[in-house]
Chains A and B, each alone.
Chain A
Amino acid sequence: QVQLVESGGGVVQPGRSLRLSCVASGFSFSSYGMHWVRQAPGKGLEWVAVIWYDGSNKYYSDSVKGRFTISRDNSKNTLYLQMTSLRAEDTAVYFCAKEDMVTLDYWGQGTLVTVSS
């Protein structure tokens, strides 16, 4: 069965960096696009970034463009989100999600990132 397991969250000071990971299993990881979606405490879902199946294209939301970088290692079935210049408003649960023809059909359980001094 499809499993997505995020890790790397924690408490970080404003301006610092953090890298999230998402390990995938149960499907052919290298054949599917992958997304990061976040949810601030008590707020709605916010789309963050997408990377194509082969890493050839990446797109970001305006709120993270220039600060966050999405990447993947298909040999390790792992998706990454490198977050730099973190701000308080980046505090959220970060979910990774598998894409199948635009549909985000499977999601991980999320990892909490708290940006605070």
Chain B
Amino acid sequence: SYELTQPPSVSVSPGQTARITCSGDALPKKYAYWYQQKSGQAPVLVIYEDNKRPSEIPARFSGSSSGTMATLTISGAQVEDEADYYCYSTDISARGVFGGGTKLTVL
């Protein structure tokens, strides 16, 4: 079955740039989506279609994709950005798939 691979954890100091990667064989043909999940809460969409940002998401969040890798970048990470981040995409059968998640620590 199709898989998306993320690093388990990323750690940065406040104000630094955090980059979270997501690799998958179908990403050259399929969009990547990114979700932020804080403890005990439902996921929130932060990036869609590789690099588009919902209007309510701060501009420090951006996305990119090249080849088999998509990247979520948080420029000037804030303490409140500490959360789990998941990439999401679909396989050739339109079934969804999530990456394993990355725990972002900002301290």
Contacts and interface: CB of A to CB of B under 8 A. Distances in A.
B98 A103 contact: no
B102 to A, nearest CB: 10
B61 interface: no
A59 interface: yes
Q: How large is the interface on B (under 10, 10 to 19, 20 to 34, 35 or more residues)?
A: 20 to 34
Contact of A46 (B35, B49, B98): B98
B37 to A, nearest CB: 7
Given A45-B101, A47-B97, A61-B95, A95 B45 contact: no
Contacts of B37: 45
Contact of B86 (A44, A50, A102): A44
Interface of B: 1, 31, 33, 35, 37, 42-45, 48-49, 54, 84, 86, 88, 90, 93-101
